[in-house]
Structure 1
């Protein structure tokens, strides 16, 4: 059974997956179209500060008169970009570490897994906050920090899959005929662990978005005037009593986005599990 047919079968059995797919497509398209919207997210209007939602400003304005809707839309660009780029960094580091550790074993495996154990034993949020403070807060820093300190789970999963894959007959035969270890890893081991890798990557996007939101909420993430969903949530703390919608909107979007990415991971896992 082709992968497309598997997708159709899973979607037919679990229509709820459609909700997550449509929501993520909507958020992605809305965020990408932000550049074409005729509103400057940083344009202030001192005569229209902290305005309530209206036809002119769908979600009102913030404390300096900036249109809140457009800031949420632009915030989506930052949060999604952080999620995807941090996922690529985290997944790449974890995959390389897991493949090398699982395939070569011995001292290399011991050293890498002890490193994973040490980093995993320290609350990851503490590590991320400390390095975010030491480095200049901003978009690039937050991607580096998240990518460098959230790869351990991926490494463990890929190592486990590699230990299983390297015992298969075709890998043993490849070694017998003299194919080099790097070639075996790339041609045979990596394709075998790809299903696990894909599912893990979607979870890593959700985790990165949550981490960025938490860091921005604490003030050590994306810095003003640049908006992200987390920084908007942080700013909304002071307006909860008079304008609760300013916290509700980015908070709800973060929850739905994270849920949708996790659901997409389950969807891919189910597609790969369907028997041909």
Structure 2
């Protein structure tokens, strides 16, 4: 009898420990830092498929989007942040909100699907944004561009989704050298970052967009391979993103793996560990 009681108490204590650990992890993820894997190549070369980073949630304050979503398809778990904290959403405001800065690399919730996206903040509320001939124009003025050679990568499936890169010199066979033209883009405030170009396409020439109050305009650095604010939501794009949908700022890469699994240690990219995101 005493042995059975001890076993029962041990099980209860184990359950309590797991529950407490999950609560602490949930609070930490909600208030401070949220882990994020880069699943696609839309932010190359700044971010590569397989980069792992923590999103700083303190940078812009808190909204319903700060609550974590729990999605584990293999067990059918799909709890969205809106299911937990949707009751505080809808007014496009934040608690302890800090103003995002142009050029920030930001993780946000897609306004329609609720999926997490990571892009660069390009347009602020009240501004106009337009692409003309592949050149970004903000408030009617073209940004400064400087040619910077090419970005090179191996033409092969990348990451868990086995995505193949698009190549300016393509089509390129498996194992070949895939290249994209690279330029350094300087935004009005003086911050600079690399952008990649693959081909002339419709996203290089867009209508003139006026960013509504309380919203932001985002673009990927891999300009010809990014679903972003250049395409309206009704056409399957991102469109304008409300302030309350911002999750946080990406500041630093913590770990990086080029393989289909992080367990494939021979694909780890140690040169990207703790690398700052600019």
User: Which TM-score band (shorter chain)?
Assistant: under 0.3
Larger Rg over CA atoms: 1
Using structure 2 for the length normalisation, give the TM-score. 0.23
If each structure's helix is expressed as a fraction of its own residues, which one has the higher value?
Answer: 1
